[in-house]
Amino acid sequence: MRSLTLACVLLCSLISAAQSIRQAKQLDASHLELDFRAHGEVRMRIQPSALQISGSDEDKIKVHYWSDHEDSSDVKVRLEASGNTANVYVGKGPHNNFHVDIQVPRKSNLYLRITAGDVDINDVTGDKNIELSAGDLSVQVGDAADYGEVEASVYAGDLNASPFGVSKGGLFRSFHKKGSGYRLYAHVGAGDLKLVP
C-alpha cells in the first residue's frame, strides 16, 4: 500500500511539472511569443547567425528569424518556460545570411551559447553568461559600477571594454574584476569582444 501511495505521489508530481511548462504562441511562420516576467533567467542556444538580443518593457520573450537569400521553413525553434526560467533554442536554419532577433524583458539574466556569428546584446540589465566560439560579440553593459564580477576573454582577437578602461589585442587576452553587483562572463574564441556603455 505504501509503495502504491508513493507511486501516485510521484506520478502526480511529474504531471504537475509537465503542466507547469509554458509553451510559446506561434504568431506566424517566423514569429513566436511567450509570456515571461522580468527578473527571470533566459537560457539560449542559437545556431550560427546574425543575432540581436534586446531588452524591452514587455513581460514577453519574442523570437523572429529570417534569411536574406535562403528558405527558412526548416528552422526549428523551441521557446518554453517553467517557473522563473525560459529556454530558447533556434537550429536547423540556413547557414548563410541567417538572422535571429530575440526580445526579452529588460531586467533578465542571460545565458547564451552560440558557435558562430555576429552577436549584439543591448538594453538588458542583469547577470550575463555568454560564449561565442567564432565571430564578433558586442554587449551593452551600461554603468560599469553596476557590475560586481566581470570576466571577459578572447583567445584570438581584440578585447575592448571602454566602461572598464580595458583595450587589448592579440592572443589570449582577458581581464577580471571583482566587486558587488551583477555578474558578467563573456568569452569569444576567435573574433572581437566589445563591452560598450
The DSSP annotation for the chain comes to: -HHHHHHHHHHHHHHHHHHTEEEPEEEETTEEEEE--TTSEEEEEE-SEEEEEEEESSSEEEEEEEESSS--TT-EEEEEEETTEEEEEEES--SSSEEEEEEEESB-EEEEEEEEEEEEEES-BS-EEEEEEEEEEEEE---GGGEEEEEEEEEEEEEEEGGGTEEEEEEEEEEEE--SSEEEEEEEEEEEEEEE-
Are residues 147 and 99 part of one domain?
A: no
pLDDT tens track for 26-80: 999 899 999 999 999 999 999 999 999 999 999 999 999 999 888 888 999 999 9
Residues 84 and 143 in one domain: no
Domain carrying residue 193: 127-197
Domain-ending residue, one of 115, 149, 181: 115
Check whether residue 95 and residue 136 sit in a common domain: no
Percent of the chain with pLDDT over 90: 81
Residue 1 within a domain: no
Domain boundary among 59, 87, 115: 115
Same domain, 74 and 101: yes
Residue 108 and residue 149 in one domain:
no
Q: How many domains does the chain have?
A: 2
pLDDT in tens, 139-177: 999 999 999 999 999 999 999 999 999 999 889 999 999
Q: Is residue 3 part of a domain?
A: no
pLDDT of residue 15: 46
Whether 103 is covered by a domain: the verdict is: yes
106 plus 39 within the same structural domain: yes
- From 85, 115, 145, give the residue that closes a domain: 115
